[in-house]
Chain A
Amino acid sequence: MRDRFRNRNIAWLMVLIVLALAANLPAAESKAAGDSLGYGNTPAALRPYARFASPYKQFFVNALEFTGPGRDKPEPEVTSVRIGVLAPLERGHEAYLGQPMLDAIRLAVDEANAAGGYRGLPFELVVRNDTGLWGASANEIVTFSYTDSVWAVLGTVDGANTHIAIRVALKTELPVINVADTDPTLVETKIPWVFRIIADDRQMAYALARHVYGERDFQRVAILRADNRYGRFGVSEFRTASVRLARPAPIEVNYEIAWAQVDPGFTVQVARLQRVAPDAIVLWADAEAAAHLLVALRTAGIEAPVFACDRLLHPQFLEQAGPAAEGVVIASPWNPAADNPHYQLFREAYLARIGTEPTTYASHAYDGARMLIDAIRAAGLNRYRIRDALAAVKRYDGVTGTIMMDLVQSDRGPVSLATVRQGSFVFGDPAIAGGF
């Protein structure tokens, strides 16, 4: 009896603590806005276990290093300087992202060759399709390393394929400049051969969480995502942010990648969201799937505001969603509306060659190619010295703005939000308080 009484008191105490924490939420958020941001631009209130314990060990507080040999290997005799490109180009649901990347990389390489290449030698692209089949990217890195003899690889998009690729790149000691994988865990592996020059889903999730909870004050925000690693890890930081801000998502629904064959009307997802009736929805999906989901939601009468990932920043989304896209707020790893002369020059050149506006991933791919070419020119034809040259870059003024590399060699430049208004993306709307 006494135990029951004690347990009941403890339970009430726990409830009071939770309520006190919840009541303190606005204060905690405003404090976070003023705090310096931690690893991955994480606000204090969103750091793991921050309210309960200090970690025994904080990782990623020292720069990655490669301590192996190889820097004294002499330059070989070559007739061209080979650079690998691994991107989804055909036969995959991410091909709509990969082809513009390749177009932009080709543009950067052609410009570099017009400017003399590498000491008179031309840069040459070796292009391989990232098919998305399990393990295929591992085999491609082996071929890049030992058969193609490239000096580095640019790519990739898919989080799973990239993880698979970088494990092999670590063994073969091949620099990988990632321009399109926003999986937060990619750089949390301590591989000194990987460089990511695009802001990740962690930063974009924080920006959305700040806006959705801090500025819009939504209480019950549902999560709707792709049933793959992109969706699962894309929403992970938003999911945990919701919990840490005492507003856990009432539901997390996923959809199959083969939705067009399985359930083109998204009837399961719509029905589940109707039952929950959330205040808002956070959506992590590819552009085409997102468009059809939006149409399905709005057709079913679900009018909850939608906040989404950067893959929606693609003309395909606007075309296929039509009026259903109006008002959708989208996280962006950069702000193309910023006054950036580098971007204006790139945009003009890309438009002239390709005939369309450069996409987010095309722009980052162009920056990645430029960074790599600069590193090769500075370091010479030696993978180890090229790695070192890339690791030495802390800030890079590119077409996507200032790329700010952190200790795990990942871009932590500020992200932005965009809103669909009258069929167009309006960047910087809404503005984000604080920088992620």
Chain B
Amino acid sequence: MKTIRSGQIAAALAVFLGLVAGSPAWAEGLPIYDDWISYHVADGLPSDKIFCVAVDGPRIWAGTDQGLAVLESGSWRTYTTSDGLAYDAVLSVAIDSASGDVWAGTMGGLTRISAGRLTTYTQFNSGLPNDVVFGVAVENQNVWVATTAGEGRYLVRENRWQVYTPENAPQHEPWGYGVDYADGKVWAALWGGGALEFDVATETWQAYMDPDGEMEIDLFRDDGIIHVITTAVSYRAGILWASTYFGLSSYDGRRWRGYMDHDSGLASNFINSVKARGRVAWVCTDKGLSVVDYASNLWVTYAPVAEPTDYKGPWAARLTKEAEVLRTVPLTQGLANNFILGVDFDGEDVWVATAAGLSRGRTTGASGAVESGR
């Protein structure tokens, strides 16, 4: 009861602060997600270490280090190796919206869940380049994987693999780390190789590397991808987002932009992954979750208030225009952890994979929004 009363007071305070700030209609800017709940082992998850999350209609899939969990009708079920999963540590999940199949990239192979049946692909029974599948994405009737021995394209209907390595794609090492597909283009994040673009229609590759060619510096701002240790890519609405452990980059086909924690609202330069919805990117860092609107360079960052690792303490949403802090909105409840690993979208809701639980965020509208005109 005491907890509820504290929460109500904090929520009222948040509303008040939002009103004081003249909260705009949230549709005009970035909404503030001020309603967070989290799931842990006590709620039915096999582990609190959540590598990835994927929304599949009414189902939420969570890849953990101890199995692939799915939330359906309010309860969790877990797939493990005893059910036929390739390996219990699940790094990536993709949903084929056409077939309903679920593809899970694990540390021991790729598993397809189709109509309740699990099929596993490994480097020994298929053309999967390597068993550690860092990323997976569905492209038309094909499935792409990012592995440490190249990018694989599984032509499902033909049961045939194509593998891309330095032999047939512009990369000096075949170290795939992430993969994404949208609008006729497959993008791959390469460890040490920047970003790769694959045009599905022409089956041609284009590489994007750090123009200064140096690991220890970023020579000029906005001259290209910030660094070649690329951790993830997301391509939506004609904009590529590429995350690195050194900052974030965007590319609209003509112009590159770089974002670091000193020149933007980014929570941290150490970015585990990025995922875009429209022209808004959700950036998963080791010190919180950042959201950026491409057009306005407005940011909302969700992070612990005191120290970056004080995730059990109070949280706040920090609203910034580039690096200028516009205001800070306290949250009644924070995310499960500051170490954010993945994100996916469920209508207007967002699901967040963290190193200590799975969180779901909603916007009540009470906390206002950060508006592009501010």
Contacts and interface: CB of A to CB of B under 8 A. Distances in A.
A68 B107 contact: no
A55 B286 CA distance: 25
Given A56-B221, A188-B229, 16 more contacts: A48-B216, A48-B217, A53-B220, A57-B262, A58-B217, A59-B215, A66-B286, A69-B337, A142-B131, A146-B65, A146-B89, A163-B192, A164-B175, A168-B132, A172-B65, A190-B270
A253 interface: no
Interface string A39-57: 1100000001100010111
Contact of A134 (B130, B191, B221, B338): B130
A196 to B, nearest CB: 15
Contacts of A146: 65, 88-89, 107
A134 B173 CA distance: 10
A134 B218 CA distance: 30
Q: Which of A67, A160, A167, A189 has the most CB of B within 10 A?
A: A67
Nearest to A68: B339
Interface string B337-368: 11100000000000000011000000000000
Given A142-B107, A164-B148, A68 B286 contact: yes
A229 interface: yes
Interface string A121-153: 000000000000011001100100010000000
Contacts of B286: 65-68
21 contacts: A49-B212, A53-B219, A55-B218, A57-B218, A60-B216, A66-B286, A67-B287, A69-B311, A69-B356, A70-B355, A135-B130, A139-B130, A142-B89, A146-B107, A163-B191, A168-B132, A171-B107, A172-B65, A189-B245, A190-B229, A190-B270
Contacts of B309: 67, 69
A65 B260 CA distance: 17
Contact of B130 (A66, A138, A163): A138
Contacts of A139: 130-132
A97 to B, nearest CB: 21
Nearest to B308: A67
A80 interface: no
A164 B191 CA distance: 9
A67 B132 contact: no
Contact of A135 (B51, B65, B149): B149
Contact of B355 (A57, A65, A68, A142): A68
A299 interface: no
Interface in B234-251: 245-247
B174 interface: yes
A185 interface: yes
Interface residues of B, number: 51
A146 B337 CA distance: 23
B158 interface: no
Interface string A149-167: 0000000000010011001
B214 interface: yes
A371 to B, nearest CB: 25
Nearest to B51: A171
Contacts of B227: 59
Interface of B: 51, 65, 87-89, 91, 107-108, 123, 129-132, 134, 147-149, 173-175, 177, 191-192, 212, 214-221, 227, 229, 245-247, 260, 262, 268, 270, 286-287, 308-309, 311, 337-339, 355-356
Given A67-B339, A68-B337, A167-B175, A135 B148 contact: yes
Q: Which of B108, B147, B245, B286 has the most CB of A within 10 A?
A: B245
Interface of B (DSSP majority class): loop
Contact of A160 (B88, B173, B337): B173
A119 B129 CA distance: 43
B218 A59 contact: yes
Contacts of A189: 191-192, 229, 245
A161 to B, nearest CB: 10
Contacts of A190: 229, 245-246, 270
Interface in A13-58: 39-40, 48-49, 53, 55-58
A134 B229 CA distance: 19
Contacts of B308: 67
Nearest to A61: B216
Contacts of A40: 216
A146 B262 CA distance: 38
A372 B65 CA distance: 25
B214 A48 contact: yes
A188 B175 contact: no
B132 A138 contact: yes
Given A56-B218, A134-B130, A190-B246, A167 B148 contact: yes
A52 to B, nearest CB: 9
A59 B260 CA distance: 11
Interface string A332-372: 00000000000000000000000000000000000000000
B132 A142 contact: yes
Contacts of A172: 65, 89, 107
Interface string A251-270: 00000000000000000000
Nearest to A134: B149
A167 B177 contact: yes
Contacts of A185: 192, 215
Q: Which of A70, A146, A229 has the most CB of B within 10 A?
A: A146
Interface string A172-208: 1000000000001100111100000000000000000
